[in-house]
A and B are shown apart, each in its own frame.
Chain A
Amino acid sequence: MDKIQTVKPSREARHDAPLKVTGQAKYTSDFNFPRMAYAVPVCATVGKGKIRAIDSSSARAMKGVLGVYSRENIGALYRPTKEASMDYRIDEARPPFEDDLITYYGQYVAVAVAETFELAQAAAKAVKVSYVSEKPKLGGKLEQEDLKKTDHERGDAAKAFAQAEVKVDHVYVTPTEVHNPIELHATVAHWTSPDKVTLYETSQAIHAQRNVMAQILGIPRENVQVITKFLGSGFGGKLWCWPHSAIAAATARKLNRPVKLVTDRHMAFTNVGHRPRTEQRIQLGADKNGKFKALIHDYASQSSMDDEYKENCGEVSGFLYGVSDVKVTSGVARRNQSVPTAMRGPGAVPGLHALESAVDELAIALNMDPVALRILNDTNDDQMTKKPFSSRHLKECLELGAQKFGWSKRNAKIGSMKDGDEIIGYGVAACTWPARRLDADAAVEFTRDGRVKISCGTHDVGTGMYTVLANIVHEETGIAKDKIDVELGDTNLPKGPIAGGSMATGSVVPAVVEACKKAKKNLLTAATKIQSSPFKGLKDDEIKFEKGLVTGKRGGKMDFASLLKKLNMSSAAGLASVKGNMAAMDKEKFSTKSFGAQFVEIGWNPLLAKLRVRRVVSVIDAGRIINFQPARNQIEGAIVMGVGMGLFEYAVTDARDGFIANANLADYVMPVHADCPEIDVTFLDYPDKEANAYGARGVGEIGLAGIAPAICAAVHHATGVRVRELPVRIEDLLAT
């Protein structure tokens, strides 16, 4: 093995660490205002039908209840523009209470607003809604009812598959998964004048939230300010506007009081999106040496009745391996369920469960090592876009991962490896995630009180944006980090990108660097031009800015704060706008993607029917890693989420009427601390200058990709049972 470059571990507290550990970081529901009222929605208890009547008399009779609102009296709420671009993106476009139709269980039908939370909650429970109930369309095999399309085609995949010497052909299923960030979705709506509102939102996309909410409320976009200072994570579930925001804003406007609406955990399952169920057929064929010859990926994902959200499962099938003949087809199956939305690694994560499981099954059919099979089918070109990869080190990920994991100790025979009563299984999967850049504006300002302020209307959702930006400006200016302020999460700031798709860091950093350079330049220019300056008359190359000090060639040194005072300036500022590449991906010369390899060890104790993920080794090729500790943390956390995806998580719909039967954190099983395996994460160190000036491709999603199929491969290795429908449950293994 050639020497593989890896990132050296480093450790440093986050910029926002003191606020987070003392409870002072302000999350949306932490904002309290004088005269604030509380709103609690009422949810439909049928899966399909019509509202017959809403009796709110007993709720309204409660002293302290300010109002009960529904389709009868909520007033005008408008449908927003719905477009795929991120400026007007919304997944559930129907404004709340628009009509009396119920298309999914849990749909908001009314809201109670009261002086206290307790009163609002009791009042909401006291609202009696009667329905004309119909049999909802639920369950069954997912047929591609509409939007059936060919996502990608090259060569003649059907013919190549027919001719392949060794092949596998199976259907893989991923269930409905729920983001369940621990912070509940919330809105605090505060009208500062009759047509101006400030919305404190749990948002990963404040600008889209502003645009959409302005339309829903029918007021000018400039009159909506959206603020998200700290977000209790989102995983995609807090990207786009959900109906509770409109309910909070509308009731606040009606009552002329600030209104706080915090959704409850049940609503996290029904009113704010989920990753939809997918059914994916993979036909993968190879020659007898293991060279892939044909890949057919045909899938359907579930959507709601009114809005189409498609889980783009086939995206990675087009480029992960070198295969001459490929066909990817897809469609959406409509059900009476709430609207799905993007969840961490949308498309790729469920798609890779299918593809990488099929690769593992093919390795077995070929009697080949699954690591070797993947390396054999590595490619330097993205065969889908016919462009070279800007930087692809999947092979190194697999090789280094195998070495760190101890893959060579694997005895391929099923059930052959033991540790006491436990049967050990090893599994591997490759993973990938595209790198894209979004438009980003940012400002950097040196102020006369000796501080540097960075402003960008983007978000820190736990990814470390506050820290990344402080560190970058520290690197650019040499100014101590405790003199650097970062302001994010406000639509009044320069427009920043969404916090999603692993794109924010790579998009914002270049803008901040550019703004910082401009601010420095503007300061130095002023210093050479203004009469009162000690540096007056110096040429551009005779003055420099270092560690917060301005130094002239002919001697003279002054800290920037004193200089600003001398110059009668409040600050020296720079504003930068850096374009992304989302709008014109086809014009890019390279295909920029991150890659990785996930190695998993499971233990199955048949005596106790106990299945545990014991160990995970993850090697990630994501370009430059700007902040090691938070980046590693993200991969480790994604692996924990992957344990949940592999072993525990699925939302249960009662097929009789759409009732979500495990809509709480006791019954929707997510990994607790005791489920956390031993984790070893390594980052390869190959900065990708094609991705952006900093060479960073982002690490938000890729850690989750590949974990579930690696778990399934390991389970098969231990037990001989191939689980194709996630999660792997105890009942799947009791025959062993």
Chain B
Amino acid sequence: MQSFGYKKAGSLDEAARTGADGIKFLGGGTTLIDLMKLEVERPKALVDITALPLAAIEKQKDGGVKIGATVRNSDLAHNDYIKKNYAVLSQALLAGASAQLRNKATTAGNLLQRTRCTYFRDPSRACNKRVPKSGCGAIGGHNRNLAILGTSNDCIATNPSDMNVAMMALGARVHVLGEKGERFINIDEFYLLPGNTPEKETVLQPGDLITAVSLPALPAGTVTSYLKLRDRASYEFALASSAVVASIQGGKLTRLRFAMGGIGTKPWRNPEAEKVLLNGGTIQDAVAFFLKDAKPQSENGFKVELAKRCLTHSLKNALKA
């Protein structure tokens, strides 16, 4: 780790003022400290935001919920209101990492979790995401764990988060405190495709501080679930995962969002695939539509079939209600 300055922010304003290029906000540190040790991240200074009043889970009047940026993954997963109303989120969180990492990792940190691509994580390798225009070691290299959707000729890195997949299916909104005050970003617009600028992963600007994530109220009769497939039984990133949020009223599917993890360069959602089912199409058609643009790499062709089984299973379970 290169040396850096450290400061614990005493107030939101103070934190927002210090935000700038080369300065990173420190929450749980499970991604940031890890990448600093590898010197993939080399911030000049860290602003520790864990003392800020951002650790609350607040039920909203409309039945929705606002989750503070520094709420720990374990606290969120075990929160009664979340378990009851947003089971998919609780399940996704508990499917990720380990109990001790979940005790550290925060909501905002998880939103910004970086890819596990081995070429990204090793500064001796070519990686366009780490060093723009330096090339991509993963294409033609070891890419079993990497993406089949949303890739470009410059980057095939997967977004590794479980939580983000649930957030995508739930239609979360990200609260951001920036230079011009507070603003809200729908999760659908939050992540960027790599294209030819894979170093840009979200729409956040330098200095922006995520303060919370809010979830909309879900109508009665909503079923949610998360399914994660991987080699070993636990403590491993997803090869494929799926989150489904389906509302069924009077025997009719009225609202549906689903997303997949482990296969996309961002938590992957395709509203058109949801429409297939909302318009009375079959699960088979919806899954095929969802995966139609899949582009396998040298080692991860099996993910197309794996993703198909994962999503099919999740949708079948959700829609049988």
A interface list, Cβ under 8 A from B: 45, 118, 121-122, 125, 606-610, 612, 647-648, 652, 654, 656, 659, 661-662, 666-667, 669-675, 729-731, 734
Stretch at the interface among B64-72, B202-210, B225-233: B225-233
Partner of A656, one of B140, B302, B312: B140
- Shortest Cβ distance from residue A667 to the other chain B in the assembled complex, whole angstroms: 6
Chain B residues with Cβ below 8 Å from A675 are 232-234
Partner of B227, one of A122, A608, A673: A608
**Main SS of the interface on chain A?**
loop
Q: Would A608 and B239 count as touching, CB distance under 8 A?
A: no
Contact A661 to B141, CB < 8 A, known contacts A672-B232, A674-B232, A734-B306: yes
Q: Would B306 and A674 count as touching, CB distance under 8 A?
A: no
Contact A669 to B236, CB < 8 A, known contacts A730-B306, A734-B306: yes
Residue in B closest to A606 when the chains form the complex, CB atoms: B309
- Shortest Cβ distance from residue B10 to the other chain A in the assembled complex, whole angstroms: 27
Chain B residues with Cβ below 8 Å from A606 are 309
Q: Would B229 and A121 count as touching, CB distance under 8 A?
A: no
Q: Would A666 and B306 count as touching, CB distance under 8 A?
A: no
Q: Would A672 and B302 count as touching, CB distance under 8 A?
A: no
Q: Would A608 and B310 count as touching, CB distance under 8 A?
A: yes
Chain B residues with Cβ below 8 Å from A609 are 229, 305-306, 309-310
With A609-B306, A661-B141, A667-B145 given, name 5 new contacts (CB 8 A).
A122-B2, A659-B122, A672-B236, A729-B231, A731-B301
Q: Would A669 and B231 count as touching, CB distance under 8 A?
A: yes
Interface residue? B237 (CB, 8 A): yes
Q: How far is the CA of A600 from the CA of B37 in the complex (A)?
A: 41
Chain A residues with Cβ below 8 Å from B125 are 659
Chain A residues with Cβ below 8 Å from B227 are 608
Chain A residues with Cβ below 8 Å from B231 are 647-648, 669, 729-730
Residue in A closest to B123 when the chains form the complex, CB atoms: A125
Could you list 18 examples of A-B contacts with CB < 8 Å? Answer: A122-B1, A122-B2, A606-B309, A647-B232, A648-B231, A652-B142, A661-B142, A666-B236, A667-B118, A672-B234, A672-B235, A673-B234, A674-B232, A674-B233, A675-B234, A729-B231, A730-B229, A730-B306
Chain A residues with Cβ below 8 Å from B313 are 607-608
Residue in A closest to B142 when the chains form the complex, CB atoms: A661
Q: How far is the CA of A607 from the CA of B240 in the complex (A)?
A: 13
- Shortest Cβ distance from residue B226 to the other chain A in the assembled complex, whole angstroms: 13
Chain A residues with Cβ below 8 Å from B229 are 608-610, 730
Contact A608 to B232, CB < 8 A, known contacts A652-B142, A661-B141, A730-B239: no
Residue in B closest to A643 when the chains form the complex, CB atoms: B232
Contact A671 to B236, CB < 8 A, known contacts A122-B1, A125-B39, A659-B125: no
Residue in B closest to A729 when the chains form the complex, CB atoms: B231
- Shortest Cβ distance from residue A229 to the other chain B in the assembled complex, whole angstroms: 28
- Shortest Cβ distance from residue B238 to the other chain A in the assembled complex, whole angstroms: 12
Contact A648 to B232, CB < 8 A, known contacts A608-B313, A609-B309: yes
Residue in A closest to B119 when the chains form the complex, CB atoms: A661
Q: Which of B2, B118, B227, B301 has the most CB of A within 10 A?
A: B118
Partner of A669, one of B122, B124, B232: B232
Chain A residues with Cβ below 8 Å from B234 are 672-675
Contact A730 to B233, CB < 8 A, known contacts A125-B39, A656-B140, A661-B141: no
Contact A654 to B310, CB < 8 A, known contacts A45-B124, A648-B231, A669-B232: no
Q: Would B233 and A656 count as touching, CB distance under 8 A?
A: no
- Shortest Cβ distance from residue B140 to the other chain A in the assembled complex, whole angstroms: 7
- Shortest Cβ distance from residue B128 to the other chain A in the assembled complex, whole angstroms: 17
Interface residue? B116 (CB, 8 A): yes
Interface residue? B153 (CB, 8 A): no
Chain A residues with Cβ below 8 Å from B100 are none
Residues 124-144 of B contacting A (Cβ, < 8 Å): 124-125, 137, 140-142
Interface residue? B279 (CB, 8 A): no
Number of B interface residues in the complex (CB < 8 A)? 34
Q: How far is the CA of A652 from the CA of B232 in the complex (A)?
A: 17
- Shortest Cβ distance from residue B57 to the other chain A in the assembled complex, whole angstroms: 28
Chain A residues with Cβ below 8 Å from B232 are 647-648, 669-672, 674-675
Q: How far is the CA of A327 from the CA of B251 in the complex (A)?
A: 70
Q: Would B142 and A654 count as touching, CB distance under 8 A?
A: yes
Q: Which of B140, B229, B236 has the most CB of A within 10 A?
A: B236
- Shortest Cβ distance from residue A671 to the other chain B in the assembled complex, whole angstroms: 6
Residue in A closest to B3 when the chains form the complex, CB atoms: A122
Q: How far is the CA of A45 from the CA of B145 in the complex (A)?
A: 22
Residue in A closest to B122 when the chains form the complex, CB atoms: A659
- Shortest Cβ distance from residue B130 to the other chain A in the assembled complex, whole angstroms: 14
Q: Would B237 and A666 count as touching, CB distance under 8 A?
A: yes
9 A-B pairs with the lowest CB-CB distances in the bound complex, closest first: A661-B142, A731-B302, A674-B233, A45-B124, A674-B234, A734-B305, A672-B235, A675-B233, A652-B142
Chain A residues with Cβ below 8 Å from B236 are 666, 669, 672
Residue in A closest to B141 when the chains form the complex, CB atoms: A654
Chain A residues with Cβ below 8 Å from B306 are 609, 730-731, 734
Q: How far is the CA of A648 from the CA of B227 in the complex (A)?
A: 21
Chain B residues with Cβ below 8 Å from A608 are 227, 229, 309-310, 313
Residue in B closest to A673 when the chains form the complex, CB atoms: B234
Q: How far is the CA of A609 from the CA of B310 in the complex (A)?
A: 8
Chain B residues with Cβ below 8 Å from A647 are 231-232
Residue in B closest to A734 when the chains form the complex, CB atoms: B305
Chain B residues with Cβ below 8 Å from A731 are 301-302, 306
Residue in B closest to A611 when the chains form the complex, CB atoms: B231
- Shortest Cβ distance from residue B244 to the other chain A in the assembled complex, whole angstroms: 15
- Shortest Cβ distance from residue A450 to the other chain B in the assembled complex, whole angstroms: 45
Q: How far is the CA of A340 from the CA of B73 in the complex (A)?
A: 41
Q: Which of B227, B229, B309, B310 has the most CB of A within 10 A?
A: B309
Residue in A closest to B306 when the chains form the complex, CB atoms: A609
Chain B residues with Cβ below 8 Å from A652 are 142
Q: How far is the CA of A667 from the CA of B143 in the complex (A)?
A: 11
Contact A662 to B233, CB < 8 A, known contacts A609-B306, A609-B309: no
- Shortest Cβ distance from residue A641 to the other chain B in the assembled complex, whole angstroms: 13
- Shortest Cβ distance from residue A610 to the other chain B in the assembled complex, whole angstroms: 7
Q: How far is the CA of A671 from the CA of B231 in the complex (A)?
A: 10
Chain A residues with Cβ below 8 Å from B301 are 731
- Shortest Cβ distance from residue B42 to the other chain A in the assembled complex, whole angstroms: 10
Q: How far is the CA of A172 from the CA of B289 in the complex (A)?
A: 39
Q: How far is the CA of A648 from the CA of B301 in the complex (A)?
A: 18
Q: How far is the CA of A607 from the CA of B234 in the complex (A)?
A: 18
Chain A residues with Cβ below 8 Å from B145 are 667
Q: Would B142 and A662 count as touching, CB distance under 8 A?
A: yes
Residue in A closest to B235 when the chains form the complex, CB atoms: A672
Residue in B closest to A610 when the chains form the complex, CB atoms: B229
- Shortest Cβ distance from residue A493 to the other chain B in the assembled complex, whole angstroms: 39
Q: How far is the CA of A83 from the CA of B249 in the complex (A)?
A: 78
Q: How far is the CA of A648 from the CA of B231 in the complex (A)?
A: 7
- Shortest Cβ distance from residue B302 to the other chain A in the assembled complex, whole angstroms: 4
- Shortest Cβ distance from residue A466 to the other chain B in the assembled complex, whole angstroms: 30
Q: Would B116 and A667 count as touching, CB distance under 8 A?
A: yes
Q: How far is the CA of A604 from the CA of B119 in the complex (A)?
A: 32
Q: How far is the CA of A669 from the CA of B231 in the complex (A)?
A: 8
Q: Can you list, as one digit per residue, whether each of B159-177 has a CB less than 8 Å from chain A (1) or not (0)?
A: 0000000000000000000
Q: How far is the CA of A609 from the CA of B307 in the complex (A)?
A: 10
Q: Would B239 and A118 count as touching, CB distance under 8 A?
A: no
Q: How far is the CA of A666 from the CA of B160 in the complex (A)?
A: 12
Chain A residues with Cβ below 8 Å from B233 are 612, 672, 674-675
Chain A residues with Cβ below 8 Å from B141 are 654, 656, 659, 661
Residue in A closest to B138 when the chains form the complex, CB atoms: A661
Q: How far is the CA of A609 from the CA of B242 in the complex (A)?
A: 14
Q: Can you list, as one digit per residue, whether each of B24-46 has a CB less than 8 Å from chain A (1) or not (0)?
A: 00000000000001010000000
Chain B residues with Cβ below 8 Å from A666 are 116, 236-237
Q: How far is the CA of A451 from the CA of B116 in the complex (A)?
A: 55
Contact A730 to B302, CB < 8 A, known contacts A666-B116, A669-B232, A671-B232: yes
- Shortest Cβ distance from residue B12 to the other chain A in the assembled complex, whole angstroms: 31
Q: Would B142 and A607 count as touching, CB distance under 8 A?
A: no
Q: Can you list, as one digit per residue, whether each of B228-271 has a CB less than 8 Å from chain A (1) or not (0)?
A: 01011111110100000000000000000000000000000000
